[in-house]
Structure 1
Amino acid sequence: MDQFDVIVIGGGSGGSAAAGRLAEDGRRRVCLIEAGGSNDNFRVKTPGFMPFIPDASNYRYETVPQKGLNGRVGYQPRGRGLGGSSAINAMIYIRGHQYDYDHWAELGAHGWSYADVLPYFKRSEGNERGGNEWHGADGPLNVMDQRWPNAGSRAFVEAAAQLQLQLTDDFNKPDNSGFGLFQVTQKAGERWSAARAYVEPLRGKGNFDIRTDALVEKIIIENGRAVGVQIRRGGQQEQVRASGAVVLAAGAFNSPQILMLSGIGPAEHLAQHGVSVQVDRAAVGSDLQDHIDYVSSYESPWNGFFGSSLAGTLRMAGAVLQHRLKRTGIMTTPFAESGGFWKSHADAPAPDVQFHFVPAMLEDHGRTKLKGHGFSVHACVLRPESRGTVRLASADAAVAPLIDPNFLDDDRDMAVLRAGVRLIERIRAVSPLADFAGVDRHVVDYDNDAALDAMIRDRADTVYHPVGTCRMGSDADAVVDPTLKVNGVDGLWVADASIMPRLVSGNTNAPSIMIGERAADFVKAALA
């Protein structure tokens, strides 16, 4: 049986940051346990191969049938292996809005206001533009401007300007309002995942043990304290012990699953699966929030967009060769190259719709292959009112949990999404984006609420930002307190997006890394 000071469960965005910071000074014996592999391959590292990343790097979860989506089953890709979802995502560097964090503090997440979290964002960030009041230049997470954005991505921004919509050259100031090109988590033309930032530089360090292909079955709790984990690796069951702390960072789906398998969760639900209850905590697996998203897709005669044609195939073949030789060119694309943040109504405290422009046609998360060329524009509801759940499907950790985002359960979410979809069509109709002669692949009367709502329910799905299932707060029902320690269990912390009391107004990778950074400091303080 192996003994460490700290065990970190999950090598994703939060777990990589937490493990790296806990191990870097050499003072603690740290074991990072990851269910997937190393993700050390060119398809993960090449940004433009994002649609072709191996299934081994993606859990490819699905939801239960969604009544708000006309009974459809939604798709929930989640990263598997070192880097987690930062190894398969669109690499967009977004923190959210100042309002998000100030609102967390108002809700009882004391010490999590914007002023509190900004130093951690800056500490994690290595922005190639340099450091300033809002940005860090020396952190391990490399952030850079895109070098080869598509002409259509720029045209989307210029068309927004023609409608007198605000532009921005920095989405990561306190107010993220406006339209522009996104910065990306890349370095020298390659994907820069959280694992490449925090874990790989420490590989081989004597106090840092990285265990991949190891499935955590449960956290071992003795006398009210987390003392280790039970894992399954190579068909064998093992125990790994921790004298100081266990840090759970398996993500918004797997962290509550592991807590429930360990006896922490809704008592009645655990009993149904034969799990002995350690702590009856109804909020474990509850409060699931996700960005519901609609993708408008347009076919275009211009073959400069990504697509399927002889010219497109030849162009991509040359681009792959260029990237393999020089790490330059269009294979550095994050696909979601430009976008914006916009208020659907004037009294919103912060933008409530985010747009992503993709210079390719998308159907069903890119899983349906289309002939020809074109572009897509996403609109997502940034602060949804709908709430869902994660529940056990089995007492076997290898079985995917039951995921129910409960999309569009609240009519307010539909109102916001409807407004966002209508703005996409307005932007598309304005030059220079209109010059690409995009033809809507899903024609609908945009002025007819009922028709548009039916189209949205037929086609909307996640944009991959689930949070909230191990909610942080100061109330008695919260799963973790504001130091991220699990209520009711000593020696156990959570360090991923599941702790967010409310979904941030933007992509969740950078905030998850910030959470991991903070968790490391909280654990260090507790072990001092």
Structure 2
Amino acid sequence: MGDGKTEYDYVIVGAGSAGCVLANRLSTDGKHSVLLLEAGPEDKNLWIHVPLGYGKLFKEKTVNWMYQTEPEPGLNGRAVFQPRGKVLGGSSSINGLLYVRGQHEDYDRWRQRGNDGWGFDDVLPYFKKAENQERGADDFHGVGGPLPVSNLGHPDPISAAFIAAAVETGIPFNPDFNGATQEGAGFFQTTTRRGRRASTAVAYLRPALGRGNLHVESSALAQRIVFAGRRADAVEYRQEGAVRTARARREILVCGGAYNSPQLLQLSGVGPAGLLQKHGIDVVLDAPGVGHDLQDHMQVRMVMRCTKKITLNDVVNSPLRKVLAGLRYAVSRSGPLSIAAGTSGAFFKTNPRLATPDIQIHFLPFSTDKMGEKLHSFSGFTASVCQLRPESRGSLRIRSADPTAPPEIRINYLSSDVDRTANIEALKILRRILHAPALAPFVVEEVDPGKKVSTDKELLDYCRARGSTIYHPTSTCRMGNDPLAVVDQRLRVRGIDALRVVDASVMPDLVSGNTNAPIIMIAEKASDMILQDAR
């Protein structure tokens, strides 16, 4: 690399769910040189590619930023663990693999908030463009895209019984959460291909690696963006102990995710002026919205003891069954190791006055005290409630000018009355489902929270004691027209030239579901906008 200075048309910071998409799409025609920087290593860890392997990556610091929130006032002062991918593929290499787009109304709401071009009819073509849908193409789905979307490879009787139980309580059956409507109970689809994880590194980056105009640097931590006046000029990054600089002739594209993107902007002098001055950083642009409006989905889980030894707990706790499951996966890419972080699930309203569902349930044929920790010694299964559109808002702020220092994360879970009520009502509905006739043959008892928790106050106390993240942080560099909006409708940072943010941080607000599919859509749409602007 000589003096460590190099020039490209586009410099992309972060090879995650969005960055890998951009790297593929911007390098396709061969006209533009593209540099993709990733702070983490290549995606060589075996467990990345095995669907159930996400459990092993939870606390694996070689591929995970392992962030923590500050003590959360609404959760009895507990700090909440925030795993984020630090590897090629980013969080799409360590996530739960569920393919959920959210509700049509989510995107129409974005548009109604002044974000032209982001209504459901505008974004649907990009969901379809990305997708290679196992069930074939229709009005809502595409085939032939880079991202494989597959049916559950290992349907088990309890997951099917959960759907039947939900229907018994009055929730309609829904064969496709990403079709005409989201409401109902059914099986999830996953971003897997033939039983292996299809991260964006696998689906988008790998096919593009042979292109002469695409350069990928892993273990390269971006330290700051260098500005020439108010134009983003270069990215300074640290690799193998040396500081290097990559200049962007056209644009710098920040794809670090809801935590690392605002952190990098703040470290570079774009953020709340008072915060930057406190840490001795020269202010390039006083942008109070950078790191503002952090949102996340919280989950609260119920655990049931199962009558039969058919849960994943039983496989993991039996040396013989564990070996057999491993062999089965090695031979046919099927069986328990092909399970995602939700087999079946449901979307429903806690209040009939609501226009659309406000709760998502993830059902899992195993149980544990904490995700990523040892499974219970008994036969058990889990279902969690997740409030889809929380009102609670938090913030992300740098703690120092040191790019290696983790940022200060405050989510403020359960700080709104609406959020508290929704979680209480959701647990009551989930409990009805788990005690419905279809699940009766599988249920010995409710282990957690159990009979001792029944009043609204007890249920809220349980949420405060046990609630945790479901890993969907967004909106810290939000798109919009108001004074706190960070990017415009074309994802350009307001007040700065040649700089865009493309990732979950630009969402005007949280979508009603898992965030990976929407982030890939955002990056597909951004790729088109960037190439249009280049012409």
The TM-score range, normalised by the shorter chain, is over 0.9
Taking the aligned partners of 2:412 and 2:444, their CA distance within structure 1 comes to 33
Match for residue 8 of structure 2 among 1, 4, 23: 4
Give yes or no for the alignment of 1:41 onto 2:45. Answer: yes
Share of identical aligned residues, percent? 40
Cα deviation, residue 20, structure 1:
1.1
Give the equivalent residue in structure 2 for 1:501. 508
Taking the aligned partners of 1:73 and 1:295, their CA distance within structure 2 comes to 18
Match for residue 27 of structure 1 among 20, 24, 31: 31
Equivalent runs, 1:358-377 vs 2, <5 Å: 358-377=364-383
Give the equivalent residue in structure 2 for 1:91. 97
Query: Structure 1 stretch 425-434 or stretch 303-312: which is displaced more?
Result: 303-312
Partners of 1:4 and 1:241 within 8 A in 2: yes
Aligned residues: 528
What are the Cα deviations for residues 427-479 of structure 1, in whole angstroms up to 9, with x where unaligned?
A: 11112212112422222555411111111100001101010100001224310
Cα deviation, residue 310, structure 1:
7.8
Match for residue 106 of structure 1 among 86, 91, 112: 112
Partners of 2:315 and 2:321 within 8 A in 1: no
Give the equivalent residue in structure 1 for 2:275. 269
What are the Cα deviations for residues 398-450 of structure 1, in whole angstroms up to 9, with x where unaligned?
A: 11111100100001101111111111111111122121124222225554111
Give the equivalent residue in structure 1 for 2:228. 222
Give the equivalent residue in structure 1 for 2:150. 144
Partners of 1:110 and 1:474 within 8 A in 2: no
What are the Cα deviations for residues 236-267 of structure 1, in whole angstroms up to 9, with x where unaligned?
A: 11101110011100000000000000101100
Letter in 2 for 1:212: S
Q: What stretches of structure 1 of length at least 5 have no aligned partner? A: none
Task: Summarize the Cα distance change of 1:460–1:88 in structure 2 as closer, same or farther, 3 Å threshold.
Answer: same
Give the equivalent residue in structure 1 for 2:217. 211
Taking the aligned partners of 2:452 and 2:307, their CA distance within structure 1 comes to 23
Give the equivalent residue in structure 2 for 1:421. 427
Following TM superposition, the consecutive aligned residue runs of length 4 or more in structure 1 with deviations greater than 6 angstroms are none
Task: Summarize the Cα distance change of 1:310–1:357 in structure 2 as closer, same or farther, 3 Å threshold.
Answer: closer
Letter in 2 for 1:99: E
Give the equivalent residue in structure 2 for 1:471. 478
Taking the aligned partners of 1:324 and 1:373, their CA distance within structure 2 comes to 25
What are the Cα deviations for residues 23-81 of structure 1, in whole angstroms up to 9, with x where unaligned?
A: 12211100100001111332110112221134312111110000000101111111111
Partners of 1:295 and 1:362 within 8 A in 2: no
What are the Cα deviations for residues 166-219 of structure 1, in whole angstroms up to 9, with x where unaligned?
A: 110100024211100001100011000111111011113100001100000011
Taking the aligned partners of 1:262 and 1:3, their CA distance within structure 2 comes to 19
Give yes or no for the alignment of 1:337 onto 2:343. Answer: yes
Give yes or no for the alignment of 1:521 onto 2:528. Answer: yes
Equivalent runs, 1:143-292 vs 2, <5 Å: 143-292=149-298
Taking the aligned partners of 1:174 and 1:242, their CA distance within structure 2 comes to 42
Partners of 1:374 and 1:438 within 8 A in 2: no
Task: Summarize the Cα distance change of 1:487–1:371 in structure 2 as closer, same or farther, 3 Å threshold.
Answer: same
Query: Structure 1 stretch 483-492 or stretch 40-49: which is displaced more?
Result: 40-49
Cα deviation, residue 120, structure 1:
0.4
Taking the aligned partners of 1:40 and 1:265, their CA distance within structure 2 comes to 35
Name the SS of the counterpart of 2:345 in structure 1: strand
Taking the aligned partners of 1:430 and 1:440, their CA distance within structure 2 comes to 12
Name the SS of the counterpart of 2:280 in structure 1: coil
Letter in 2 for 1:482: Q
Give the equivalent residue in structure 2 for 1:482. 489
Name the SS of the counterpart of 2:129 in structure 1: helix
Cα deviation, residue 223, structure 1:
1.7
Cα deviation, residue 369, structure 1:
4.4
What are the Cα deviations for residues 280-329 of structure 1, in whole angstroms up to 9, with x where unaligned?
A: 11110010011111011122242210115786432221111121222222
Partners of 2:98 and 2:341 within 8 A in 1: no
Equivalent runs, 1:433-452 vs 2, <5 Å: 433-441=439-447, 442-445=449-452, 447-452=454-459
Match for residue 321 of structure 2 among 310, 315, 335: 315
What are the Cα deviations for residues 124-163 of structure 1, in whole angstroms up to 9, with x where unaligned?
A: 0010111111000111000010121221111100111111
Partners of 2:165 and 2:439 within 8 A in 1: yes
Taking the aligned partners of 2:275 and 2:29, their CA distance within structure 1 comes to 42
Give the equivalent residue in structure 2 for 1:324. 330
Q: What stretches of structure 2 of length at least 5 have no aligned partner? A: none
Letter in 1 for 2:17: S
Cα deviation, residue 119, structure 1:
0.4
Letter in 1 for 2:418: R
What are the Cα deviations for residues 354-396 of structure 1, in whole angstroms up to 9, with x where unaligned?
A: 0000111132223254312200101011000000000111211
